[in-house]
Every structure is written in C-alpha cells, then in structure tokens.
Copies of this chain bind each other. A is one copy, B any other.
C-alpha cells in the first residue's frame, strides 16, 4: 500500500479499508482523488489477499462531491473553437468516468459506508459500488442540477437500476436532499445505522463475512450480477455456463463441501 494524498488505505482480515481522507475539505474530489482511486482499485484487483473493499470518508462527512476548483481548471483549458473544446471536454469527462468505472469493474465487492454529506459526485461514486450502508441521518442529493449541468460521471447511468425510474427523476430534477432513512426505503442503501461508529462496525462485519466465503464464488457472483445490468437473461445464462465450466473445476467446491460435512468453517485459498 503506497502513500496516497487523498486516501488512506488499510488491509486487515482480507478486507481493504479505503478512506477518502480530506476531512478538512469535506472530502471534496480533487485531482489527486481522481488519479489515486484508479491506482487503488487496480491494486485491489491485482492483490489476491484483498477479498472485499469498504469505502468510507474520514471525518463527519462521506464527501461533498467534485472539487469546484477542478471544474474551474478544466474550464480554463478551453480555447475559441467550439468543436475542439467539445473534443477536450468529452475526453476529460471520459477520463473522470474511468475513475469510477475502476470501482464498478473491480472484481471484488465494494461496500460503501456513508455518513453526513453525500452530494453530487459522491452519488456518482456510491452508485458504482456494490452495496451502500448509511447512518440514518446521512444526507444525499444529486447536486449537479444546481451547478447547471446534467450529472455525467455515473449517477444518471447507474442509479435508475438501483432505485427505479420514478423517484430517480424527481431526485435528479429537483436536487432534493433525502436522509438515510428515505434512502433505505427507496433501495438506495441496504440498511441504516444509528451513528458513524455503528455504521463502520456493521459494514466491516458484513465485509468480513463475505471475505470468509470462497473468493472464486464471490468474484463469479459479482461478475454475473454486473453482467445482468446490461444483458439479456438468455445471454446471462449462457455466460454463467461458460464461466462455471472452468470454475466448477476449482478446489473451492471440495473445500466448501468438506467443511459442510464436517460442520467446520472452510478455509479457502486466496
């Protein structure tokens, strides 16, 4: 684990804890953030010992979203030709999207633990995670509408699959703030906790539980659910058959079976 400017990264019990670490800036997403998050998730993907990731924010808030300084800086790079500016902007947006795609495409489950503010770009980020957990009084808002723009790093693309079409539109058009409880009722978060400490304990417990399962099985399961977000049922069935054609030859099934028979906890290789 190298040294990061915008993050703190720890690894214990096969769970990587990735913490956005700019509490004095409400964990706003600056240039360091966007670059380092890719590196971190590349490391997660490549490191067998990491089986699950918990993503959280240091201090009172999860994150206030993109750092407005960064936006201003992009603006300052534009020239006079509208067409060439459009090319520059398009590539910059694709580059920012790539940072959250790294979270989405990570082969290992990513659990977000959210307290305080979770605004704008922070919604785009948690929409790329596998599951979301929050304090009851966390505050969520799709703030992009109030900066005069359509959200473009993932919220509008991934959230409708999670919370459904109807309420999605209300939240995106109005930028209305909802708390953790309403987020839970909408399906945005899976469970709420009384405070930040209970939240982190609870999420770490779920993370460790998943980390104890067969890594082959967990990664295959994630790949299949991710695949179904964009594919047909018949394609999904064919894909899992092809996938399991190799994976069912892994030792993990025998390990799991043996543990089941002997009523013991299985130990899987990384």
Q: Which residues of A contact B (CB under 8 A)?
A: 68, 78, 81-87, 89-90, 93-94, 97, 101, 104, 109, 130-132, 144-152, 154, 156-158, 160-170, 172-175, 187-190, 206, 209-210, 213-214, 216-225, 228-257, 260, 266, 268-269
- Residues in B neighbouring A167, C-beta threshold 8 A: 131, 187, 190
Whether the pair B225, A93 counts as a contact (CB closer than 8 A) is no
Nearest CB in chain B: distance from A147 CB, A: 5
- Residues in B neighbouring A83, C-beta threshold 8 A: 216, 246-252
**What residue of chain B has the Cβ atom nearest to residue A142's Cβ?**
B221
Whether the pair A148, B216 counts as a contact (CB closer than 8 A) is yes
**What residue of chain B has the Cβ atom nearest to residue A130's Cβ?**
B169
- Residues in B neighbouring A243, C-beta threshold 8 A: 150, 152, 242
A selection of 10 A-B contacts at a CB cut-off of 8 Å is A81-B251, A93-B241, A109-B169, A145-B217, A152-B240, A156-B224, A162-B166, A164-B164, A173-B210, A230-B233
- Residues in B neighbouring A175, C-beta threshold 8 A: 213
Q: CA separation between A237 and B6, bound complex, in Å?
A: 25
Whether the pair B149, A222 counts as a contact (CB closer than 8 A) is no
Q: How many copies does the complex hold?
A: 6
| Residue in B149, B166, B221, B238 whose CB lies within 8 Å of A248 | B149
Q: CA separation between A260 and B143, bound complex, in Å?
A: 12
- Residues in B neighbouring A148, C-beta threshold 8 A: 213-214, 216-217, 250, 252-257, 266, 268
**What residue of chain B has the Cβ atom nearest to residue A133's Cβ?**
B170
Known: A236-B156, A249-B78. A213 touches B145 (CB 8 A): yes
- Residues in B neighbouring A245, C-beta threshold 8 A: 85-87, 89-90, 93, 246
Nearest CB in chain B: distance from A251 CB, A: 5
| Residue in B170, B222, B229 whose CB lies within 8 Å of A173 | B222
Q: CA separation between A222 and B175, bound complex, in Å?
A: 13
Known: A160-B228, A229-B233, A239-B242. A218 touches B257 (CB 8 A): no
Nearest CB in chain B: distance from A103 CB, A: 13
- Residues in B neighbouring A218, C-beta threshold 8 A: 145, 173
Whether the pair B162, A187 counts as a contact (CB closer than 8 A) is no
